[in-house]
Amino acid sequence: MAQHAVNGFDRVFLSFQLTFSLGRGVFTAFLPIFAGIYVGLSPTLIGILVAVNILLMAVVQVYGGNIADRFNRTALVAISSLGVAASVALIPLGGNFWQLLWICALGGISGAIATPAASALSVDEGRRFGMGATMAILTMAFSIGLGVGPLLGGVIADYISVNSVFYFGAGVGVIGTALFIWFAPRKG
Tell me how far the alpha carbon of residue 8 is from its chain's centroid: 21
CATH superfamily, domain at 15-183: MFS general substrate transporter like domains (1.20.1250.20)
Residues of the chain short of pLDDT 50, as ranges, are 1-7, 188
pTM of the complete model: 0.87
| Residue 164, pLDDT score | 97
- Cβ–Cβ under 8 Å, residues 85 and 137: no
Q: What are 19-53's pLDDT values in tens digits? A: 889 999 999 999 999 999 999 999 999 999 999 99
Burial class (CB in 10 A: 0-12, 13-18, 19+), 130: middle
> Where are the chain's structural domains?
15-183
Query: What is the pLDDT at residue 20?
Result: 87
Q: What is the DSSP string of 129-168?
A: H-HHHHHHHHHHHHHHHHHHHHHHHHHHHHHT-HHHHHHH
The predicted pLDDT at position 38 comes to 96
Q: Are 77 and 13 in contact (CB under 8 A)?
A: no
17 CB-contact burial (10 Å; exposed 0-12 / middle 13-18 / buried 19+): buried
How far apart, in whole angstroms, are the C-alpha atoms of residue 68 and residue 124? 13
